[in-house]
Chain A
Amino acid sequence: MFGYYLLLALHSFRRSPGLTALMVIIMGVGVAASMTTYAVFRAVSGNPLPDKSAQLFVPQIDNRGPQNGSTRNNLPDALTYTDAMALMQAHVATRQTAIYPIVGTVVPQDGSHRPFAANGYAAYADFFPMFETPFEYGSAWNDGDDQRHAGVIVISDQLNRALFGGANSVGRTLDVDGHDYRIVGVVDHWNPQPRFYDVNNGYSFGDAPDYYVPFTRAIDLQIGSNGNNNCAGSLKALSPGWNGWLQSECVWVSMWLELPNAAAALRYQQFLGGYAADQQRHGRFHWASNVRLFNLMDWLDHEGVAPPETTVSLLVAGGFLLVCLVNTVGLLLAKIMRRAGEIGVRRALGASRGEIYRQFVAEATVIGISGGLLGLLLTALGMRGTDLLFEPDIAKLAHLTVGLIGVTVSLAVVATVIAGLYPAWRAAHVQPSWQLKSQ
């Protein structure tokens, strides 16, 4: 029977090609606009580490004071070197790492190409197991390397390809900024998006970092942060030089903790509050303890990682799809009511209301499928246009995946079927006798 309805639907399209084409185009454009913006939105607001995100936490400590604008919702988004080192040494979490972004010049040993700039992170050994970093060769360095301030380095597969043609380079030496490091591991394709562990420095999206070195070593070599450095908490002038900076109230170190369950998170929260209260007792903070502990997803939300552009466009495109739907309901209604006579004849010849209803839902479905296919085509075009609309680092995250193709077509079909329900209901209630009389 459904096949018969499809035939009727196709027949009806032939009779009013203009109106049908209009509906297909409107649905296609509406679906494409919302899917393109949804693809970008999903790429920037997804969970970068789904199986682990509930166990990863970021601590905040108020070292600035309420007179400099600190509130519960507005605490410094990084830590001072002093506080980060105190938390590292207390070792209250299962795993923990202080981390900051660095930039260095890599000097190729073979002399075949010029030195180039590379982006990296200074971190502790726990960084890798905490964030489930996969390794192509070798492994992370260990706690002993952290304590020895060892000159070891983990590099990305990209850097490994550029320097060693992708061969196993573990054990070889790499010159960064004139310092030799021993390569202990090569990371295998790892670039979670957003780059959750460094969203407070504005590096939320982009290419994978090139290398990682022990935090303790980076401090020894006086490698400054390539991220934000906020000294709003300093009431008095800094002492000059590197050590003055380390001892200052400037915040620039990020801290990540792994806490296995809610009880552990609660314990850490108490420890953190106690630590800040201690600082107050020792005269460093002149205000009551003000600390906060975020889990990963709450942290991304708090830092506003998804650019407002992507959310606003999703909202507007959604509104646009709604208008397309309202429009399609109107056009379907017009189309169906124009055929009231035909419906009357079918009813008089014995078709039940249910059958008429199904016939017109089938017709809406066909329009939905056609609109979906057109929408898919336009979405594919829209994906190419995303880099005109969004930052290139964000635009390239949006891909036309199998899942997205499925969602696009289903969205069009479901939306059009919903749009077709009311007109079909009206069609089913056409009075056969009245229609026949008026012919």
Chain B
Amino acid sequence: MQIRPILSALWHHKAGTALIVLQIALTLAIVCNALFIIHQRVVRLSRPSGVDEANVLVIQNQWIGQQAPAQLQALMASDLQTLRRLPGVGDVYATNAYPLGNGGWSKGVRYTMDQKSATSPTGIYFADEHTLATLGLKLVAGRNFRADEIGDMGARDVLTPRTIIVTRALADKLFPGGNAVGQQICVGSAPPSIIIGVVERMQTWIGSFSEAWVERSTLVPFRLLASTTTYMVHVQPGAMASVVQAASQALIAANPQRVIGPKDVMTYGQIRTIAYRSDRGIAILMGVICAVLLATTAAGIVGLTSFWVSQRRKHIGVRRALGATKGDILSYFCTENLLISTGGVMLGAVLTVLLNVLLIDRFEMQRLSIAYLVVGVVAVVLLGQSAVFVPAWRASNVSPVEASRTV
């Protein structure tokens, strides 16, 4: 295939060529970065929380007025009994926060009390001997809490656990050797606690604040006596709908001096949807923009190539009359498009990196992996080839008679 005549023909269409090159470049830059954003969001929203999400229900309870700690302890114990008696309920415990929730406690952990700055932050979850069974957390080392280890703690008291269970992510951060069970660490400003068990995974709550240490959680053996409590309920398969119905009614019937609003009873499916709402939204938006952008660029290529074909019918006729085959004409336009695309993706690669640098700088995004650029380049070139095919096919069907028609 002769490249020189194509280049000289393109030189006659400087403006049109430059426009397609620019459009391909911009499309590549936007599509690559958008695909990268989509990938990051999808990775985020599909990571496991460690909870048996299909079978766990979350109930927020708020007591009316201020109760003494002893009263709160009795109320909580009676609520746990009420929930356990419900048909379809497997196990129950009370806590301050839960994975994928919208807030919670965090503390810095240190090896010794003298250590000046913390080794890692950790999410704090109040737990008892039922927690692992209720959430379906997998114990990978050590043991569960025993009933006699569970204490009571007032909302403003200082957290001083003697035993704790940590996630594997936190254990690996603190003790890379893998021998976390039996070791001591200081949680917040408390004296050392002994790690008695390690669970495979338990995510912290959602938010940019905890993103860097998302699986470093600590379970502390206390019931938190505060006016607001969260009950976590493990529901037997198939019983979710009936337990959702019955749970708040049973609690209010047992003691009406409380508030459980319409948004206070949620399945984990709902919690996950809310937690990753904006991630899913951005992924959808970027996907739609990518699709429309590619369609727009394809339409632009079809439009301009059709114009070139109609303008050059005479030349095509002459070439056909001089012995060029249909295939020659077809490959002429495809090669022409390939040359334009090559120019476009070269400029586009530069724009892609520049846009990525801007996003990293302004929005703390990660560096784009080169694979996205490669995939983007291949996609854009294929798009150009398929867009050019119809006008090129029409050009190849120009009959040699055309050469003599208008001269």
Q: Kindly identify, within residues 225 to 256 of chain A, every residue whose CB is under 8 Å from any CB belonging to chain B.
A: 231-232, 234-238, 240-242, 244-245
B304 within 8 Å of A (CB atoms): yes
Does B359 interact with chain A (Cβ within 8 Å)?
A: yes
A308 in contact with B363 given A237-B189, A326-B22, A326-B26 (CB within 8 Å): yes
Question: Is A117 an interface position by the 8 A CB rule?
Answer: yes
Instruction: Check B117 against A68 for contact (C-beta < 8 Å).
Output: yes
Give the number of chain B interface residues (Cβ < 8 Å). 62
Quick one: which of B8-64 are within 8 Å of A by CB? 15-16, 19-20, 22-23, 26-27, 29-30, 33-34, 37, 62, 64
Is A10 part of the contact surface with B, judged by Cβ < 8 Å?
no
Interface of A is mostly: helix
CB distance from B228 to the nearest CB of A (A): 8
CB <8 Å contact, B297 and A327 = yes
Q: Is A90 close to B, CB under 8 A?
A: no
Partner among B20, B281, B299, B355 whose Cβ is within 8 Å of the Cβ of A22: B299
Instruction: State whether the Cβ of A295 lies closer than 8 Å to any Cβ in chain B.
Output: no
- Complex: A334 Cα to B304 Cα, angstroms: 6
Partner of B310, one of A68, A309, A315, A338: A338
A333/B66 contact (C-beta < 8 A), A308-B363, A326-B26, A389-B285 known: no
For residue B293, CB closer than 8 A to chain A, the reply is: yes
- Residues in A whose Cβ lies below 8 Å from that of B304: 330-331, 333-334
Secondary structure call for the B interface: helix
A389 B117 Cβ-Cβ under 8 A: no
At the interface with chain A, which of B128-136, B151-159, B237-245, B376-384?
B151-159
Partner of A333, one of B15, B27, B29, B34: B15
CA distance A97 to B289 in the complex (A): 46
With A331-B304, A337-B311, A338-B307 already in contact, the answer to whether A323 and B158 are too (CB < 8 A) is: no
Residues 30-44 of chain A, each 1 if its beta carbon lies under 8 Å from chain B, else 0: 100100000000000
- Determine the distance from Cα of A3 to Cα of B300 in the docked complex, in whole angstroms: 30
Alpha-carbon distance between A242 and B158 when the two chains are bound, in angstroms: 11
- Is the Cβ of B155 less than 8 Å from the Cβ of A115? no
Point out which of A177, A234, A307, A426 has the most chain B C-beta atoms below 10 A from its C-beta: A177
- Once the chains bind, are B26 and A115 in contact (CB under 8 Å)? no
Task: Decide if B363 touches A312 in the complex (CB within 8 Å).
Answer: yes
- A330-B23, A389-B281, A422-B15 known; A319-B30 Cβ under 8 A: yes
Q: Which residue of A lies closest to B108 (CB)?
A: A232
**Measured between alpha carbons, how far is A333 from B23 in the docked complex, in Å?**
14
Does A391 lie within 8 Å of B26, measured CB to CB? no
Write the nearest CB–CB distance from B103 to chain A, whole angstroms.
8
Residues of chain B within 8 A of A244, CB atoms compared: 156
Among the interface residues B62, B261, B296, B362, which one has the most CB atoms of the partner chain A within 10 A?
B296
With A178-B66, A237-B189 known as contacts, the answer to whether A388 contacts B30 (CB < 8 A) is: no
Q: Name the contact of B307 in the complex, choosing from A234, A238, A334 (C-beta under 8 A).
A: A334
Instruction: Check B37–A320 contact: CB distance below 8 A.
Output: no
**Complex: how many Å from CA A218 to CA B278?**
35
B289–A333 touching, CB < 8 Å = no
A271 within 8 A of B: no
Evaluate contact between A117 and B261: CB separation under 8 angstroms.
yes
Contacts A323-B27, A323-B296 given: A309-B282 contact, CB under 8 Å?
Answer: yes
A102 to B355 alpha-carbon distance, docked (Å):
43
A62 CB, nearest partner CB in chain B, Å: 15
CB pair B261 A116 closer than 8 Å:
yes
Query: Are A320 and B292 in contact, with the CB atoms below 8 A?
Result: yes
A331 to B303, CA, bound (A): 6
- In contact, A333 and B189 (Cβ under 8 angstroms): no
Name the contact of A33 in the complex, choosing from B62, B188, B289, B303 (C-beta under 8 A). Answer: B289
Does B277 have its Cβ within 8 Å of any Cβ on chain A?
yes
Residues facing B in A374-410 (CB within 8 A) are 388-392
Closest Cβ of chain A to B251, distance in Å, is 13
A119 to chain B, nearest CB (A): 12
Q: Total A-B pairs in contact (CB under 8 Å)?
A: 156
Q: Is B65 an interface residue, CB under 8 A from the partner?
A: yes
Whether the pair A326, B311 counts as a contact (CB closer than 8 A) is no
B155 proximity list for chain A (CB < 8 A): 224
> CB-CB < 8 A to B297: which residues of A?
323, 327
B374 at the interface (CB under 8 A from A): no
Say yes or no: A177-B64 contact (C-beta < 8 A), given A22-B299, A237-B189: yes
- Residue among A19, A178, A311, A391 making CB contact with B65, cutoff 8 Å: A178
Q: Answer whether residue A291 sits at the interface, using C-beta atoms and an 8 A cutoff.
A: no
Tell me which of A67, A236, A237, A330 has the highest count of chain B C-beta atoms within 10 A of its own C-beta. Answer: A330
B311 touching A115, Cβ below 8 Å: no
Least CB distance from A56 to B in Å reads: 26
Nearest chain B CB to A285's CB is how many angstroms away?
16
B127 contacts A by Cβ under 8 Å: no
Closest to B292 in A: A29
Q: A347–B27 Cα gap in the complex (Å)?
A: 38
Q: Is the pair A309, B22 in contact by a Cβ cutoff of 8 Å?
A: no
Residue interface mask A77-99, B partner, CB < 8 A = 1: 00000000000000000000000
Establish whether residues A235 and B189, one from each chain, have CB atoms under 8 Å apart when the complex forms. Answer: yes
A36 to B285, CA, bound (A): 11
Cross-chain contact of A327 among B29, B228, B259, B300 (Cβ < 8 A): B300
B357 at the interface (CB under 8 A from A): no
Say whether A7 faces chain B, with CB atoms less than 8 Å apart. no
Bound form: Cα–Cα A232–B107 in Å: 8
Query: Within the assembled complex, what's the spacing in Å between the Cα atoms of A334 and B103?
Result: 57
Chain B residues, CB < 8 A from A315: 359
A259 CB within 8 Å of chain B = no
Question: Which chain B residues numbered 247 to 265 have a C-beta less than 8 Å away from chain A?
Answer: 256-259, 261
Q: Are B156 and A245 in contact (CB under 8 A)?
A: yes
Question: What residues of chain A lie closer than 8 Å to B321, measured between beta carbons?
Answer: none
Type the 1/0 row for B146-178, where 1 means its CB is closer than 8 Å to any CB of A. Answer: 000000001111101000000000000000000
Q: Does B286 contact A (CB under 8 A)?
A: yes
CB proximity of A236 to chain B, nearest CB, Å: 6
A155 at the interface (CB under 8 A from B): no
Which residue on B lies nearest to A319, using beta carbons? B30
Q: In the bound complex, what is the Cα–Cα distance between A320 and B340 (angstroms)? A: 20
Partner of B303, one of A30, A334, A388: A334
Binding site for A on B (CB under 8 A): 15-16, 19-20, 22-23, 26-27, 29-30, 33-34, 37, 62, 64-66, 103, 108, 116-117, 154-158, 160, 188-190, 207, 228, 256-259, 261, 277-278, 281-282, 284-286, 289, 292-293, 296-297, 299-300, 303-304, 306-307, 310-311, 355, 359, 362-364
Given A320-B293, A323-B26, output 12 extra A-B contacts at Cβ < 8 Å. A22-B303, A67-B117, A68-B117, A240-B157, A242-B156, A245-B156, A309-B281, A315-B359, A320-B289, A323-B23, A327-B300, A422-B15
A-B pairs with beta carbons under 8 Å apart, 28 shown: A19-B303, A26-B296, A29-B292, A29-B296, A30-B296, A67-B116, A105-B64, A202-B103, A202-B207, A222-B66, A244-B156, A307-B278, A308-B364, A312-B37, A316-B30, A316-B34, A319-B29, A320-B289, A320-B293, A323-B296, A323-B297, A326-B300, A331-B300, A333-B15, A334-B303, A337-B311, A389-B281, A426-B15
